Amino acid sequence: MPELPLLLEILLKIGMVVSPLLLAVAYATYAERKVIGYIQVRIGPNRVGPRGWLQPIADAVKLLTKEIILPRQANRYLFLLAPVLALVPALAVWAVIPFSDGWVIADINAALLYVLALSSLGVYGIILAGWASNSKYALLGAMRSAAQMVSYEIAMGFALVGVLMAAGSLHLGQIVSAQQGGIWHWYWLPLLPLFVVYFIAGVAETNRAPFDVPEGESEIVAGFHVEYSGMAFALFFLAEYANMILIAALTALLFLGGWLSPFEGLLPEAAFALPVIGWLLGPGIHWLLLKTAFFLFVFFWLRATFPRYRYDQLMRLGWKVLIPVTLVWIVVIGLAIGFNLGPWFS
């Protein structure tokens, strides 16, 4: 096969994205337990390794060695296929996420659409898990989840419409470079309502608190994954955390200038020419990681702060608050672009 070197190159790139991602997922669980612990005036995990640093590894080993229990009369193949279907789209989306200028596996033009399409596939894993488990709680959780994800996808899609109107492109790299020119040029300011709606819809899409009704433990035990154990259970968590990191990274890319530096336009040009400090101050992958980490922290913060939404409140928020906000703001952006409102659209 003549394309063998190309295939190897792609595989290498995938490895370079997926392995740090999985490590980040493992330590996101540790960070979450620590952050929520300190918010609740506890210490959090501190037994395995120094300051509990090896806790995620211990968790992974434990989950790997546990038995996967198949419930009686469960649909065997779909039951085992469901966690895989949840995880694969969560990892596949990362193919189009740029980490710095040009650092991307697949540099495609319709990247934003690809992200939206693949993240809408994640719901299959959850629905199938609920259905194949042959359990009332699991089915209820799956149905809640399907309704919630389909509803919030609309608000999320509309928020993205605003971004692509402002940037004039579906290409993630071009969206970031359209925000060039310092912190006031990033889209969080002109698209502020869409930024808020996008992040809220993102929290709801990943089924995180306060939108975690699909797994509401006080009502339906653990929702769609109530019958899962061992590695099959772990795969759902892997998918959920990979999606959380993805939403955090996308929010940073679309609204906070991605890898652009906040000091751009504030500091004199000479500051960026300094040997090491200049590199740190200038644009680069470290800024994207920092912004992603911030939004990830907000995810944990929300979980520790807010009680769970009631189901009808959740639907009301999605359909009657978030979607109208995005619709109005799309018109506002249309006018702003039409009148060349500076400094963003001139």
Partner 1 sequence: MTLELAVFYGFAAVLVLASLLMITVRNPVHAALSLVAAFFAAAVLWVLLEAEFLGIVLVLVYVGAVMVLFLFVVMTLDLNVSQLREGFVRYLPIGGLVALVMGAGMIWVLTRETVFERTTPLRAGADYNNTLAIGQVLYTEYVYPFEIAAVILLVAVIAAITLTLDPRRRRTSKSIDPAEAVKVRAKDRIKMVDLRQK
* Interface positions with partner 1 (CB under 8 A): 1-3, 6-7, 78, 108-110, 113-114, 116-118, 120-121, 123-124, 127-128, 131, 139, 143, 146-147, 149-150, 153, 170, 312, 316
Q: What is the DSSP letter of 176?
A: H
The answer to whether the CB of 186 falls within 8 A of the CB of 134 is no
Which of 258, 266, 264 is closest to 284 using CA atoms? 258
> Looking at this protein, which amino acid is placed at residue 275?
P
281 or 314: CB nearest partner 1:
314
Q: How far apart are CA 211 and CA 156, in angstroms?
A: 15
Nearest distance, CB of residue 15 and partner 1, angstroms? 19
Rg (CA), the chain: 21
Name which of 159, 197, 169 is nearest 317 in CA terms. 197
Q: How far is the CB of 322 from partner 1 (least distance, A)?
A: 15
- For the bound state, the minimum distance from the C-beta of residue 82 to partner 1, rounded and expressed in Å, comes to 11
Amino acid, single-letter form, for residue 259: W
- Measured CA to CA, the distance from residue 117 to residue 123 in angstroms comes to 11
Nearest to 125 by CA among 93, 88, 82, 89: 82
- Closer residue to partner 1 (CB): 62 or 316: 316
Q: What is the nearest approach in angstroms of partner 1 to the Cβ of residue 132? A: 9
Task: Give min distance, CB of 174 to partner 1, in A.
Answer: 11
Nearer of residues 42 and 320 to partner 1, judged by Cβ:
320
- Residue 96 or 191: which CB sits closer to partner 1? 96
Pick between residue 4 and residue 41 the one whose CB is nearest to partner 1. 4
